[in-house]
């Protein structure tokens, strides 16, 4: 489900801050599959499209993959930055773009404190790191900024619900400029 939460204006095009709630990231681990997401469509893409350029990010557990690099069909890449989501109005200077590697290393680092989340050992919670913005070059070479809000179904900041359900907000820039306002 996608919910409109705000808008901003760029020339004749209106950019929207959208929230996608409860994206399932392989909630049944035995299935061992990614849920694919397209920013242009604002929707999940069927897993059968994994070998195409029709998706931008794939989610499985705490792992996020990009549709780019040697192993994939798209032009995608990702970069992480420490910044307040609302304060970022364009791609920051000097971003280091990365793609997933054939050896299994992902563009968006995994592990507690390395990428977008921390693992709290005392409560066994996955918590998004504050002020962590994920910049995505999409499979077709456009840009998005993303902030992960929750890893648990139907809640933001709470963990008494099942995990492996992402809620995130994002701005997709379809003109390729890297400007988000």
User: What does the pLDDT look like over 117-174, one tens digit per residue?
Assistant: 999 999 889 999 999 999 999 999 999 999 999 999 987 655 678 889 999 999 999 9
Domain membership of residue 25 (yes or no) is: yes
pLDDT of residue 75: 97
Domain membership of residue 78 (yes or no) is: yes
CB 99 within 8 A of CB 76: yes
- State what percent of residues in the chain have pLDDT above 70: 91
CB 55 within 8 A of CB 38: yes
At 71, the pLDDT band (50, 70, 90 cuts) reads: confident
Domain membership of residue 144 (yes or no) is: yes
Give the pair of three-digit tokens for residue 1.
């489900």
In the 8-state DSSP scheme, what is residue 26? -
Q: Domain tally for the chain?
A: 1
Range of the domain at 160: 2-173
pLDDT of residue 10: 37
At 114, the pLDDT band (50, 70, 90 cuts) reads: very high
Domain membership of residue 181 (yes or no) is: no
| Claim: this prediction has a pTM higher than 0.85 | yes
């Amino acid at each position: 489900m996608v919910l409109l939460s705000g808008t901003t204006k760029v020339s004749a095009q209106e950019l929207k801050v959208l929230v996608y709630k409860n994206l399932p990231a392989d909630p049944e681990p035995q299935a061992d599959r990614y849920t694919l997401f397209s920013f242009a469509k604002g929707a999940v893409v069927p897993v059968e499209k994994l070998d195409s350029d029709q998706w931008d990010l794939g989610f499985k557990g705490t792992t996020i993959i990009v549709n780019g690099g040697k192993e994939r069909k798209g032009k995608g890449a990702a970069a992480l930055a420490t910044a307040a989501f609302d304060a970022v109005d364009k791609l920051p200077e000097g971003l280091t773009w990365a793609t997933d590697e054939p050896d299994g290393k992902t563009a968006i680092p995994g592990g507690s404190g390395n990428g977008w989340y921390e693992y709290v050992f005392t409560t066994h919670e996955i918590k998004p790191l504050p002020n962590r913005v994920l910049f995505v070059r999409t499979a077709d070479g456009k840009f998005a900024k993303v902030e992960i809000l929750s890893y648990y179904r139907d809640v933001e900041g709470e963990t008494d619900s099942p995990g492996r359900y992402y809620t995130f907000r994002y701005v997709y820039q379809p003109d390729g400029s890297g400007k988000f306002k």
